[in-house]
């Protein structure tokens, strides 16, 4: 088993938006925390457990710590990011997430021009420049360019952070990962890991893949699933439910184009339907983004309602309002997904990682209740499954 710091996990990122910003900030933030804890431990004695640092599901995951993750390649299409060091690009507009670690040191990794394809919705031109993408005039990357960069950088895991609705762009980067010999984490609601044809391709190449559509650490979908599961276990019949979300980041702006929402709505709805005692008719469940509120920036506000019947068919309802910073809320989950991919690479395991996918993703190839998916993932980390 590797010990922390003994080996690096080299990642590449496609899409330097708010989520990538939180991830890169988090790697440095927890590196600093680890360093301070090590100094304190040496000075005062004592051991460091897996629950010592706030905000991580796993401080140590199979011998790897967040500080072992290193960004070695990055791609974007915005002229305010392309050509800059990753440490600068993550704070460039239209990014608007919380800055919780401003002192991210230079990485020495220049953001390369990616491939646009359907990664930029045409309706964005109707909004102010500071809210949307500004396409770089640099020549678009070819598949060969991306593969060459991934190989020369030594990237082991490629993260897909394309905008919702970017079906072609997501598949482009998945294809590049296969050709370059990289594991793939599909954080977005384009069905790749849950598509048997794509899953088979990663299995044939002996490359791990985790997907699809990242869950937040404590976000709208995981709370909705938990409540739905609670109703089921307590014998309460769910008759109707909705999840309404508003936010002011580029993701919500992008989703104003409803034609790009099909896979997102499918992913979020199925995440809830899969834990209900009985699937609801389409007209009785609504799960999905609702509107773009610019001043909310990266804050996401979720309104949940569940209506049901108790003992004796007596009606009841539950309403909940959840407010979270959207991008940091998913970064810790991605940090665990990265480390699970690295463990699979170390063990020579390829194809879909079913247990981590079920725990980390909204639309995995196989859905499991969250407590079961958690136990399965712990077994995977321990090397028992």
pLDDT tens digits for range 41-82: 555 445 455 556 789 999 999 999 999 999 999 999 999 999
CB-based contacts of 31-36 (< 8 A; 24+ apart in sequence): 31/66, 31/67, 32/101, 34/4, 34/65, 34/66, 34/67
Name the band, by pLDDT with cuts 50, 70 and 90, for residue 302: very high
Let me know: does 365 contact 357? Beta carbons within 8 Å. yes
The pLDDT of 127-145, averaged and rounded, is 93
Tokens describing residue 242: 């909705």
* Predicted pLDDT of residue 41: 52
pLDDT tens digits for range 22-42: 999 999 999 999 888 666 555
* Predicted pLDDT of residue 290: 82
Largest CA distance in the chain: 67
Name the band, by pLDDT with cuts 50, 70 and 90, for residue 213: very high
Q: How far apart are CA 107 and CA 212, in angstroms?
A: 28
The pLDDT of 158-173, averaged and rounded, is 96
Let me know: does 353 contact 210? Beta carbons within 8 Å. yes
Phi, psi for residue 312 in degrees, rounded to 5: 75, 20
* Predicted pLDDT of residue 378: 98
* Predicted pLDDT of residue 6: 58
Closest CA to 56 of 76, 29, 83, 36: 29
The pLDDT of 290-294, averaged and rounded, is 92
Mean pLDDT of the chain: 93
Q: 85-89, 101-105, 106-110, 257-261: which has the minimum mean pLDDT?
A: 257-261
Task: Count the alpha carbons within 13 Å of 260 in the hemisphere toward its beta carbon.
Answer: 24
CB within 8 Å of 120: residues ≥ 6 apart: 77, 133, 135, 163
| pLDDT above 50: residue 129 | yes
pLDDT tens digits for range 221-270: 999 999 999 999 999 999 999 999 999 999 999 999 988 888 899 999 99
CB within 8 Å of 57: residues ≥ 6 apart: 217, 332, 333, 336
The pLDDT of 197-205, averaged and rounded, is 98
Let me know: does 224 contact 243? Beta carbons within 8 Å. yes
* Predicted pLDDT of residue 44: 45
248-266: burial string, b at 16+ Cβ within 10 Å, e else: bbbbbbbbbeeebbebbbb
* Predicted pLDDT of residue 94: 96
H or E element in which residue 92 lies: none
- Helix, strand and coil percent figures for the chain, each rounded to 5: 40, 20, 40
């Amino acid at each position: 088993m590797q010990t922390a710091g003994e080996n690096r996990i080299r990642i590449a990122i496609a899409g330097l938006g708010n989520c990538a910003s939180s991830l890169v900030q988090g790697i440095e933030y927890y590196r600093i925390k680890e360093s301070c804890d090590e100094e304190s431990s040496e000075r005062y004695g004592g051991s460091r457990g897996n629950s010592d640092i706030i905000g991580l599901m796993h401080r140590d995951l199979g011998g790897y710590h967040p500080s072992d993750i290193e960004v070695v390649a990055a791609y974007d299409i915005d002229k305010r990011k392309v050509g800059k060091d990753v440490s600068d690009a993550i704070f460039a507009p239209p990014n608007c997430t919380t800055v919780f670690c401003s002192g991210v040191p230079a990485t020495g990794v220049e953001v390369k021009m990616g491939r646009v394809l359907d990664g930029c919705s045409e309706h964005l031109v109707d909004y102010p420049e500071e809210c949307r993408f500004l396409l770089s005039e640099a020549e678009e990357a070819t598949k060969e360019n991306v593969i060459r960069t991934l190989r020369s950088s030594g990237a082991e895991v490629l993260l897909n952070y394309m905008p919702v609705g970017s079906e072609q762009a997501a598949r482009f980067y998945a294809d590049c990962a296969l050709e370059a010999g990289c594991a793939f984490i599909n954080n977005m609601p384009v069905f790749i890991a849950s598509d048997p044809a794509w899953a088979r391709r990663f299995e044939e190449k002996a490359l791990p893949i985790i997907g699809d559509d990242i869950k937040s650490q404590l976000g709208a979908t995981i709370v909705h699933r938990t409540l739905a599961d609670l109703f089921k276990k307590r014998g309460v019949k769910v008759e109707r439910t909705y999840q309404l979300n508003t936010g002011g980041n580029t993701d919500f702006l992008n989703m104003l184009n409803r034609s790009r929402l099909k896979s997102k709505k499918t992913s979020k709805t199925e995440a809830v339907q899969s834990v209900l005692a009985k699937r609801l008719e389409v007209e009785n469940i609504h799960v999905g983004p609702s509107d773009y509120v610019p001043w909310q920036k990266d804050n996401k506000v979720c309104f949940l309602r569940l209506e049901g019947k108790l003992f004796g068919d007596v009606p009841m309802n539950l309403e909940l309002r959840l407010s979270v910073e959207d991008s940091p809320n998913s970064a810790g989950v991605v940090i665990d997904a990265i480390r699970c991919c690295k463990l699979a690479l170390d063990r020579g395991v390829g194809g879909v990682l079913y247990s981590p996918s079920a725990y980390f993703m909204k639309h995995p190839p196989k859905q499991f209740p969250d407590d079961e998916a958690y136990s399965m993932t712990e077994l995977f980390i321990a090397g028992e499954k």
